[in-house]
Chain A
Amino acid sequence: MDAIIIILQAGVASGTVLLFATIGELFTERSGVLNLGVEGMMLIGAMSAFSVAIATGNPWLGVLVAMLVAGLLSQIHAFITITLQADQVVSGLALTFLGTGISLVLGEGLSSAGTVSLLPKFTIPLLSLIPWIGPVFFSDHSVLVYVGYLLIPLTWFYIYKTRPGMHLRAVGEYPAAADALGINVFRLRYFYVFVGGLLAGLGGATISLAVAPGWFSELTTAGQGWIAVGLVIFAQWDPIRAAVGSYTFGALRRLILDIQGPTMLLGFANPFYYNPYWGFFLQMLPYAFTIIVLVIGSREAIRKRLGAPAALGTPYIRGERGL
């Protein structure tokens, strides 16, 4: 039992990375802009967080810089797709290449630069006493994990219950109508692309300063940015489902790492311990699961007639016939 709790506890921490990136992309896509640059923004966030924390000794400053740098990078995508009306798919890919490249260049030598002071960890007094839930969700977590908990209901409330949230949805569903009502479509889209960048940067910082401290070049994120893009589709652009998906994937990632350790598993000889090469098949699981989860999401979308924000992926051009 203890082992399961330990894995789940670590899974929540690792899911927080995905949570930030997924919620960020959810905001961006809700405004009608598809940003496939999440991986690049996370990577540049992880790199800047780690290097600033090393240089200044202050992890908080690292988090701040990571968010700003990733947010800045996202504005390239915003400019290209919103102002220059270019293809959002290619621009997003370009952003991932760019973010990866810059991170590799500026992160040169960072992996051996030493250790940093990490963000503080703490246990929440009363909540941690609840059986099962307490030790998994409220014990010995980085402060960012708790920030993640707060982000979920706040995002839900913001998107569905506030006026700016309604404007956000309007801009993503029917920009021409939103424009006619006096909502500045262009400014809002720039803003939510920026929000997506901030949160992707926060996700990156969560990796390098809390969950898996350090800088391991491209392996720092290892495709988590892409998994986040997939999770947004699985979540059907809903923050609660996004959170469920993120934590599930986080737990899966931890399980894969931890299952190869013990010699015995549920009373049997652990096949993953005695066949270490099976680990390569375990490594495929998060990516295979992303595909499965997308299939589930797509089937559901067809059945329930749900779907992406109607204007997702199309530039808004004033005066042109809209949707």
Chain B
Amino acid sequence: MADITSPPPRARRSIIPYRIRLEPRLSEPPRWYPFAVSLGAILVALFFGGIVILLAGGDPWRSYVHIAKASFGDLGVFSDTIVKATPLILVGLACSVAFRMRLWNIGAEGQFFLGAFGASAVILIPILPPTAPGWLFFLTTMIAGSLAGALWAFVPGYLKAKLNVNEIITTLMMNYIALSLINYFIFAVWTEGGFQMSPMFPKNAWLPRLTDFGSQVPALRGLTTHAGLIVGLVMSVVVWLIIYRSRWGYEIRLIGDNPRAARYAGINITRNTVLVMMLSGALAGLAGVSEITGVVHRLQSAISPGYGFTGIIIAWLAKLNPFAVIVVSILFGALILAGREIQPSGVPKMIQGIILVSLIASDFLLRYRIRIERIPEEA
């Protein structure tokens, strides 16, 4: 007897007697599942990245082996990887905080530069004399840098909150403005003998590095990991506490998940938009301070190989989890470190792009279950 309540199955017969069916997931997948999917996405990305490297005339296997060796091969290079990961942790946190509220701060790069600018201002104006103690330099540069980053992010935050101006475009435009501002200062104000860089910072303003303790512990000699890492780790805990253990964090998460419910619950979205944007900018600013006082030791325009943009990918890959940000940052630190020597030079950027594409595509697997089933024989 013919079933008249449901439409007949499609008459098209395929050669393969199986079909793919998608079912929305009704229950939460197991805890390991999102991580497995992310890992799979990275592997798929490396595969496609390899194809492009091949097309460009490179050897993908050698490129990848080189990346692994040049970043995890021994203690010295691993320390360099950590150095690259340090600013990434902070910008990754910056993006995670904003994205948690579905606030698209794409301006971490500019806020990073402003952080470096704020720290440089303390040292170069100079607000502190070169002989000031290290801890005082540490405190003032960190405060100045995070304030500068927060103020830079305040502009798009305020425009978004008060006038509903698209924050994606404004934060991005602020990046270009920040770079021009830095360029003006290193060319015209703080230039060292006409070169496009400021003079070297006094030693007291440098963040302590592992190698500084080389005279006491010989094993640490030559290791460049600096105290910015501690700042990054502490901020991960702080961000975790804010997001998951505070009333403010609850408001942020509620606005991100369901802005309408948040408004009915009496949460002030306008104020939170400005504050979260500023928190995000402050974190990105700290990354700039850490990089400039821990690694570069002078203000110049080549202090970032796009850290602010990598932060976006890191936040997404870490599923906005502050502790996962640390792990992911180390992986990307390795990619950036080793990528400097790889030809063609755009490879790290391309791999980052491919990773983000396959990652966002793989989110599908978290929401749907893919079933492959046999097409029933027609009677």
Q: Provide the bound-state CA to CA distance between A55 and B353, in Å.
A: 27
Q: A108-B56, A108-B345, A295-B159 are in contact. Are A281 and B180 (CB under 8 A)?
A: yes
Seed contacts A108-B346, A284-B177, A290-B169; 10 additional CB < 8 Å A-B pairs: A80-B361, A85-B364, A87-B360, A87-B363, A104-B345, A105-B347, A217-B346, A226-B172, A277-B187, A298-B164
The answer, yes or no, to whether A101 is at the interface (CB within 8 Å) is: yes
Q: Provide the bound-state CA to CA distance between A80 and B316, in Å.
A: 16
The answer, yes or no, to whether B26 is at the interface (CB within 8 Å) is: no
Which residue in chain A gives the minimum CB-CB distance to B352? A97
Interface secondary structure of A, over-half rule = helix
The answer, yes or no, to whether A64 is at the interface (CB within 8 Å) is: no
Q: Provide the bound-state CA to CA distance between A164 and B64, in Å.
A: 48
Q: Provide the bound-state CA to CA distance between A297 and B166, in Å.
A: 10
- Point out which of A79, A101, A109 has the most chain B C-beta atoms below 10 A from its C-beta: A101
Interface size class of B (residues with CB under 8 A): 35 or more
The answer, yes or no, to whether A7 is at the interface (CB within 8 Å) is: no
The answer, yes or no, to whether A165 is at the interface (CB within 8 Å) is: no
The answer, yes or no, to whether B55 is at the interface (CB within 8 Å) is: yes
Residue-wise, chain B 174-186 has the 8 Å CB interface mask toward A (1 for contact) of: 1011001101100
Q: Are A101 and B184 in contact (CB under 8 A)?
A: no
Interface secondary structure of B, over-half rule = helix
Q: Are B350 and A98 in contact (CB under 8 A)?
A: yes
Q: Are B184 and A277 in contact (CB under 8 A)?
A: yes
The answer, yes or no, to whether B153 is at the interface (CB within 8 Å) is: no
20 A-B pairs with CB atoms under 8 Å apart are A80-B357, A86-B361, A90-B360, A94-B360, A96-B353, A97-B349, A98-B356, A98-B357, A100-B346, A101-B352, A102-B350, A103-B346, A105-B350, A230-B169, A277-B187, A277-B188, A287-B173, A295-B165, A298-B166, A302-B163
Which residue in chain B gives the minimum CB-CB distance to A97? B353
Which residues of chain A have C-beta atoms less than 8 A from B343's C-beta?
108
Q: A108-B346, A294-B166 are in contact. Are A100 and B353 (CB under 8 A)?
A: yes
The answer, yes or no, to whether A95 is at the interface (CB within 8 Å) is: yes
Q: A223-B176, A226-B172 are in contact. Are A294 and B165 (CB under 8 A)?
A: yes
Q: A97-B353, A106-B56, A230-B169 are in contact. Are A284 and B361 (CB under 8 A)?
A: no
Residue-wise, chain A 292-316 has the 8 Å CB interface mask toward B (1 for contact) of: 0011001101100000000000000
Top-6 shortest CB links A-B: A104-B346, A101-B350, A97-B353, A98-B353, A108-B344, A277-B188
